[in-house]
Amino acid sequence: MDRKELELYLNDLLQAARFRDYCPNGLQVQGRESVAHIVTGVTASLALIEAAVAARADAILVHHGYFWKGEDGRVVGQKHARLKQLLTHDLNLFAYHLPLDAHPDLGNNAQLGALLGISPQGRFGDDELGWIGALAAPTTLRAFAQTVSARLNRVPLVIGEEDCPVRTVGWCTGGAQGWFDAAVAAGVDVYLSGEASEQTTHLARESGVAYIGAGHHATERGGVRALGTHLAERFGVRHTFIDIPNPV
């Protein structure tokens, strides 16, 4: 398909224009005009770019791209190495940050909720990026954490009493531990995100609401993979999801 056609479709599908984000969403680095093979991954690291080159991809689609607010604008060091590979091999780079978190079906939160068996019931936070839902049946924090570990293939950080009952879950993938207060106010039994900060432990202990840090990378694999599969089914392009392991 045509690069411009792909960009317009993604921008419309993910409603990119409505988000005030920390980076530009959409086409970040221009490559060849024709796109027949798309590689997806969480972050546009050098390892992902090299894997996409080896796979003979025409475009890379990621959640974490480049040109973040406040970053050094000089093209030196690792930024130079990454951009050099993209430009040398005429590879397009598409990146969608908050729009990919928020999509009701293909987004990171939607995919994580489905993976963990949570039925969505509401939203909270800026742009309603935080989700609230319920499990099919009450369980314990210990059992729910075991489900998270098994389905994300990663041992999560768990703060709370292992035997405390869990039915309602608040969640937001990635680095959304700052929304823990809002989740507590919403009345959930446990809040799940990717990371934890020093104050996260104190809030969990004092509020009685458990916290699970399931990994920034691990919680954000689902959205971009689902989006790539959607593009393959709709437009007949080839799609390859490449997971570059990241313990964070």
What residue ranges of the chain are covered by domains with CATH 3.40.1390.30? 3-96, 103-218
Contact of 45 with 39, CB cutoff 8 Å: no
pLDDT at 128: 85
pTM score > 0.95 for this model?
yes
pLDDT at 11: 98
Give the residue ranges of the chain where pLDDT is below 70: none
CA distance 20 to 127: 9
Q: Annotated binding site, which residues? A: 63-64, 101, 216, 220
CA geometry: angle at 41 spanning 40 and 42, to 5°?
140
What is the CATH T-level fold of the domain 3-96, as seen in this structure? 3.40.1390
pLDDT at 92: 98
- 241 phi and psi angles, rounded to 5 deg: -90, 130
100, 141, 178, 180, 195 from 212: Cα distances, Å = 22, 9, 13, 10, 8
pLDDT at 57: 98
pLDDT at 58: 98
Written out in words, the top-level CATH class of the domain with range 103-218 is alpha beta
Residues 5-48 pLDDT 10s: 999 999 999 999 999 999 999 999 999 999 999 999 999 999 99
Q: Annotated binding site for a divalent metal cation, which residues? A: 63-64, 101, 216, 220
